[in-house]
Structure 1
Amino acid sequence: MMSQMPPALSKCPSCEEPLESGDRFCGACGYDLSAVPAPPHDSPTMTMNGAVPRPTSAGGPVDWPVAPEVDSSDMPAPVHVPTDIQGTDSGGSELPAEVRFDGHPEPDEYALQAPDPRTADFATPSAGTKLCVACRAGQVDRDGYCENCGHAQPRERDHMEQELGAVAAVSDRGLRHHRNEDAFAVSSTALPDGSPAVVAVVCDGVSSATRPDEASLAASRAANEALLDSLPRGAHPQQAMHDAIIAASQAVNSLAGTTPPDEHAPHQNAPACTLVGAVVTPSLLIVGWVGDSRAYWVPVDRGSPAARLTEDDSWAAQMVAAGLMSEAEAYADERAHAITGWLGADAYELEPHTASFKPDRPGVVVVCTDGLWNYAEAAEEMAEVIPPDAAVRPLHSAQVLVGHALDGGGHDNVTVAVLPFPAPPQGAGSA
C-alpha cells in the first residue's frame, strides 16, 4: 500500500520559511512536513452572527418576502452561544495528535507599552541580568523573550566576528533563516620546535536535525581544543586533524542523549553538523572535513590558479565520481546538496577526510560553509571575490566574503574563516 504524500505547502507551518516542491523537512527550522495534516473539507452549514445566506435558484437570487415587524418588548434576552470550544478544532472534533505547537508560550497578559519612566521601578538589576533591548526595563527569560513586553531579543550568534593574529572568521545568520546554525573556532599555538600553527574550524548545523545550532557549536569547540592539545605535543598536523574530527564527532554524539523528548515528534533526528578545518604552519597546509563545507586555496599571485582543497560528501559528488552525471548536471539537480556524510549519532559511518599540501608560494586558505560557496562555487569564482590583500587583512576579507553571500540573496547561514599561508611568526598580527 502506497503511503500518502504530505500535502503541498508553500510555507513552513512552524517558521513560515518558503518551501520547494518535494520538501519533507523545512530547511530553516527542520519542521517535519509529513506531520502536517491535510486541510479539512470545510462545508459550513450555518453562518455566524445570525446572518442567513441568501439562497439562489437556477435563475439567480431568490427574493424573500419581507418579514412583518415584531414587538420585541416581551422577547427573552438573547443567549450567547460560544463559537469556539476549548480543546477542539472549528469542526468540534478532537485535535489531531500529529499537530505540533512550536510557538513561544503566550503570556497571560501583554504589556501595552513600555513602562512610564516617571512611575516604573528602574532599580539597578543584579550583575549579569539582561535587560530588554526594546523597553529597557524587563528582564530577558531563558528563551530570549522580555518578561515585561514579550519582545524577542537579538541572538548573540546572529552575527559573530573574531580576529586572532593572522586568522579571522565571520559568521552571519543570513537573510532567510530565523537563527544562525553555523559555528566556528579560530586559534593559534606553537609546535614543539617553536614554529607557529594557526587553526580554523567551521561547522554547519544540519537543519533537518534536532538542535543543529548546538551540534555545530559543540563540534567546533571540541575539534579546536583537540588540535590545541595535540599539536604542541608533536603530533603530525594531519594526524592531529583526523583525531580532532573524531573528538568533534563524539561531542555531537553526546548531545543525542540529552535531547528532550517531544510527544508530538517522537522520531527526531539526532543533532548533526558538517565540519571543515585547516591548520597552517610555516611549511604545511592541512585540511580535514566531513560533509559539504569546503576549503579553498587562493594564491597571493592571482596569475597562479586557485584550487578547491576538499571534496563534498554529497549526492552530487557521488554522481560525478561514479561517472553517472557531469558536474553541471549533478549540481543542477534538486538533490545536489543532500549530504552523505556528517557528524552525529545517526551518521551511517564516520569517515574523516584529511589532506596535506606544501604550497610553493604565499596565499590564503578560505574555510567556509555552503552559505558562502553557493555564491562562489568554483575556485576561480572564489578568487575573484576575495580581496587581493587578504593575506594581510584576513578579517576584512572574511567580512567581504560574507557580504558577497548576503548580496547574492543570503539564503543560508554564512560562515567563513581566512588563514594566510605561510603562518607568520608567533605574535605577529594583521597589517
Structure 2
Amino acid sequence: MSRMPWLSGCPSCAEPLEESDRFCGRCGAPVPSGDRPTLRLTPNTPPAAPRLGFTAPGAPAWTAAPGSPPGAAMAGGPSGAPGFPSGGTGPIPGGTPGFGSGGAGAAPGPAAQPLTGMAQPGGTGGSSGPAGHTRYDGPGHEAAAPGHPAHPAGPAAGEGPYGAPDGPTGHATGPVAGHPQPAPAGNGNVCVACRSGHVDPDGYCENCGHAQPRERDHLEESLETVAAVSDRGLRHHRNEDSFAVAATALPDGSAATVAIVCDGVSSASRPDDASAAAAGAANESLLAALPRGANPQQAMHEAILAAAEAVNGLAAAPGHQNAPACTLVGAVVSHGVLVIGWVGDSRAYWVPDDRSAPPARLTEDDSWAAQMVATGLMTEAEAYADARAHAITGWLGADAYELEPHTAAFKPDRPGVVVVCTDGLWNYAESAQEMARVLPADAAERPLHSAQVLVGHALDGGGHDNITVAVVPFPVTGEPAPVPPSAAHADS
C-alpha cells in the first residue's frame, strides 16, 4: 500500500520524527503535512577518528612533584610511549602495565610528571551541523555566514553559546539554539509541542504524548578557573551525564580547582540519578579534604570511593532490574600540580597553550577494546572494529566486580588546558591531537566558550550520545593563584 511521504527529521532542528508527529518534540516547530513536498535533510556523517591518542614521541622523563611521598614510582606509558604515569601499586587489571592506577584498598602513588612535547597542527574552522546548517563558532573561524555579517569565532560580548544572552555571572543561563526552554513537569503547564495539552506529573503531554524538555537537557556552569557544559545530544531522550565544578582555598591561601564529570550507564537502572549522585559526592569529598591540606591525589582517591558509595546507595531502592551505575573522571589543579582520577571510559586530555607542543591523553579506558589492545590479543584496529569495543570493564555501582580507582599526578612545565569529558565528546575527537585541533586557541582565557565549542563539535558530528565536558585552565606562575571570588558549585 502506498504511503504519503513524511519527514524523518524536524526541518528546524533535525530531531528524529515519527510519522504521526504534528510538532517537533524538541523545538516545537510544526511538521509539514503529508500534502507538502518532503524536505531533503543533509545527512551528517560522524568524522572518522583514530583510536587511543596516547603516543607522545620525544616526551622527556617524568619527575616527582614537590611534596610527593617517598617511594613514588615512575613508568613508561602504554605502547612504549614515554611520559605516562605510574600512579599506583600495580597495573590496571586488563589494562596497560605501569599506567597510573590505584586499588581500592591501597593509597594511590602520588608521583607527578611533567608534560612537554612536539609540534601539532593548528585549529580548524566551522563544520556542518544538522539539516545542512553550517556552524561559524568553531575555533579560529572568522568568515561570515551567507547573508550575515562577519563575526569572531566566539560569541559577542553579552552573548552566550551560539548567541544566547548572558546571565549576571557571564555564562548563558538560557538554552542554546535548538534547545528550547524546559517547561517544568506538572499539571497546568502547556506542552511545548502542541501548545495546547497539559503536562502530567511524569513530564508527558496529555494531548499529544510528547515528552517535555527536562532541566538537565542543557546545563552550563562557569567559574573563573573552570567551566563545564552538558547537553542531551540529538538521539537520547534524556541527559544521563552530570558534572560538578568548584574552587576552594587551601590552607596556605592558594586556590584549588575541582572538576568532576560522570556518565550514567544507560543499560542500568536510573543512570541519570547515578551520575548525579557520583558527581555530587566526589565534589563534596574533595571540598572537604583539600581545605584541610590533604594530599590532592589521596583526596581524589577518597573522592572516588565516596562517589561509589553514593551510587551503591541507590541500589537499595525497590523495583530495580539492575543496580544504577556510572563512570567518573575528575581533575584537581593546585600548587602547579594536576591530579586526575577516573573509573570507566570517561577521559581527561592535556592541551598546552603552545600548540607546537604535543597534547596528551591522561587516562586509559576501562573498556573491552583497551583491554584487548593492552594484552596484545588484538591490534587497535581489530579491537575497535568489534561490536564489544566500548563495553566498559570498570564502573561505579553496586554490581561492579571490583572497584579500583585510577589516579595520576602530573606537573606540566607550561600553561595549558585540561579537558575532562564523557565519550559523547571524545567519540568525535578521540586522539589527543584531534582534541587539540577542535579546542579553541584561547581556551585558557575563555573556558566556557571553549566548552560550548566542544559540545557543538559533538552535536555537529551527530550527537549520538549525551555530551559533557569541563575545561580547566592550568596556569604556570611563580606565585600561587589567588582564590577566585566565585562560590563553589555542584551541578546535579
* Structure-1-length-normalised TM-score: 0.66
Q: In structure 2, what is the Cα distance between the partners aligned to 1:168 and 1:278?
A: 12
Q: Return the alpha-carbon distance in structure 2 between the equivalents of residues 269 and 152 of structure 1.
A: 25
Q: Distance in 1 between matches of 2:482 and 2:386?
A: 46
Q: Within 5 A, what are the aligned runs for 1:10-25? A: none
**Residues 1:299 and 2:358 are matched in the alignment:** no
CA shift at 1:203, angstroms? 0.4
**AA paired with 1:351?**
E
Instruction: Kindly indicate whether the alpha-carbon contact (under 8 Å) linking 1:294 and 1:310 is maintained by their aligned counterparts in 2.
Output: yes
Aligned letter for 2:239? N
Superposed CA deviations along residues 12-53 of structure 1, whole A, max 9, x for unmatched, are xxxxx9xxxxxxxxxxxxxxxxxxxxxxxxxxxxxxxxxxxx
Instruction: Determine the C-alpha separation between the residues in 2 that align with 1:173 and 1:343.
Output: 21
Q: Which residue of the partner structure matches residue 482 of structure 2?
A: 425
Question: For 1:310, which of 347, 363, 366 is the aligned residue?
Answer: 363
The one-letter code matched in structure 2 to 1:258 is: A
In the alignment, structure 1 residue 352 sits paired with structure 2 residue 405? yes
Compute the displacement of 1:149 (Å): 6.7
Amino acid of the structure 2 residue aligned with 1:254:
G
Determine the C-alpha separation between the residues in 2 that align with 1:141 and 1:159: 22
Deviation string, structure 1 residues 377-426 (Cα, Å, up to 9, x no partner): 11001000000000010000000001111111111111100000038422
Q: Distance in 1 between the 2:300 and 2:420 partners?
A: 14
The alpha-carbon deviation at position 230 of structure 1 amounts to: 0.5
Which among 205, 212, 225 is matched to residue 166 of structure 1? 225
- Amino acid of the structure 1 residue aligned with 2:190: C
Q: Please state how far the C-alpha of 1:170 moved relative to its aligned partner.
A: 0.6
- Residue 315 (structure 1) shift: 0.6
SS of equivalent residue, structure 2 residue 331: strand
| Counterpart in the other structure of 2:244 | 185
What is the aligned partner in structure 2 of residue 270 from structure 1?
Answer: 323
Q: Which of 384, 407, 422 is the matching residue for 1:369?
A: 422
Q: Could you say if the C-alpha distance between residues 260 and 322 of structure 1 is closer, same or farther in structure 2, counting changes exceeding 3 Å?
A: same
Question: What is the rounded CA distance, in whole Å, between the counterparts of 2:324 and 2:399 in structure 1?
Answer: 8
1:129/1:238 Cα in 2 relative to 1: closer, same or farther (>3 Å)? farther
- State the distance in 2 between where 1:277 and 1:163 align: 16
Contact 2:187 2:201 in 1 (8 A): no
Query: Quick check: 1:252–1:344 contact (8 Å CA) kept in 2?
Result: yes
Distance 2:271 2:444 in 1: 32
How far did residue 142 of structure 1 move? Answer: 2.8
Rounded to whole Å, the distance in 2 between the matches of 1:418 and 1:311 is 19
Aligned partner (choices 229, 232, 249) of residue 308 of structure 2: 249
What are the within-5 Å matches in structure 2 for residues 122-141 of structure 1? 131-134=189-192, 140-141=199-200
Residues 409/138 of structure 1: CA separation in 2 closer, same or farther (3 Å cut): closer
Q: CA deviation at 1:306?
A: 0.2
The gaps in structure 2 that reach 5 residues or longer are 1-15, 17-185, 487-492
Question: 2:256 corresponds to which letter in structure 1?
Answer: A
**In the alignment, is the contact (CA less than 8 A) between 1:216 and 1:273 conserved in 2?**
yes
Identity of aligned residues (%): 77
Q: Matched residues in 1 for 2:198 and 2:416: separation?
A: 48
| One-letter identity of the residue aligned with 1:368 | C
2:270 is the alignment partner of 1:217:
no
CA distance in 1, matches of 2:397, 2:411: 32
Deviations 1:352-376 (A, max 9, x none): 0000000000000000000111111
Letter in 1 for 2:218: H
- Give the equivalent residue in structure 1 for 2:266: 207
What is the identity, as a one-letter code, of the residue corresponding to 1:365?
V
User: Is the Cα–Cα contact under 8 Å of residues 187 and 200 in structure 2 kept in the other structure?
Assistant: no
CA contact 2:275–2:326 (8 Å) conserved in 1? yes
- How many residue pairs were aligned? 297
**Aligned with 2:256 (options 173, 181, 197):** 197
Name the SS of the counterpart of 1:162 in structure 2: strand
Q: Which amino acid aligns with 1:210?
A: S
Cα separation, 2, equivalents of 1:152 and 1:371 = 22
Query: How many angstroms does 1:133 deviate by?
Result: 4.5
Indicate conservation of the 8 Å contact 2:282/2:303, yes or no.
Answer: yes
Give the counterpart letter for 1:229 in structure 2.
A
| 1:428, distance to aligned residue in structure 2 (A) | 6.8
Q: Structure 1 residues 221 and 130, CA, compared in 2 at 3 Å: closer, same or farther?
A: farther
Aligned to 1:85: none
RCO (CA 8 Å, sep 6+): is it higher in 1 or 2? 2
**CA distance in structure 1 between the partners assigned to 2:436 and 2:422 by the alignment:** 16
> For residues 129 and 361 of structure 1, do their structure 2 counterparts lie closer, same or farther at Cα, with a shift above 3 Å needed?
farther
Q: Distance in 2 between matches of 1:359 and 1:303?
A: 15
Q: Does residue 286 of structure 1 match 2:346? A: no
Q: Select which of 421, 424, 442 maps to 1:389.
A: 442
Structure 2 Cα separation of the partners of residues 129 and 163 of structure 1: 33
Q: What is the alpha-carbon distance in structure 1 between the residues aligned to residue 291 and residue 277 of structure 2?
A: 22
SS, match of residue 269 in structure 2: coil
Amino acid of the structure 1 residue aligned with 2:189:
L
Summarize the Cα distance change of 1:380–1:130 in structure 2 as closer, same or farther, 3 Å threshold: farther
Are 2:253 and 2:482, in contact at CA under 8 Å, matched by a contact in 1? no
CA offset at residue 281 of structure 1? 1.4
The 3 A distance-change label for structure 1 pair 224 and 139 is farther
Superposed CA offset, 1:161-203 (max 9, x none): 1111121111111111111111111111011111100101000
Whether the aligned pair in 1 keeps the contact of 2:263 and 2:275 (CA below 8 Å) is: yes
SS of residue paired to 1:231: helix
1:408 to 457, 461, 467: 461
Q: CA RMSD in A?
A: 2.0
1:282, distance to aligned residue in structure 2 (A): 3.6
Query: Residues 105-161 of structure 1, C-alpha deviation per residue, up to 9 Å, x if partnerless?
Result: xxxxxxxxxxxxxxxxxxxxxxx9872243778764331134577553211111111
The answer as to whether partners of 2:250 and 2:256 remain within 8 angstroms in 1 is yes
Task: Answer yes or no: is the 8 Å Cα contact 2:247–2:484 preserved in 1.
Answer: no
Is the Cα–Cα contact under 8 Å of residues 280 and 422 in structure 1 kept in the other structure? no
**TM-score normalised by L of structure 2:** 0.58
2 CA distance for matches of 1:190 and 1:252? 28
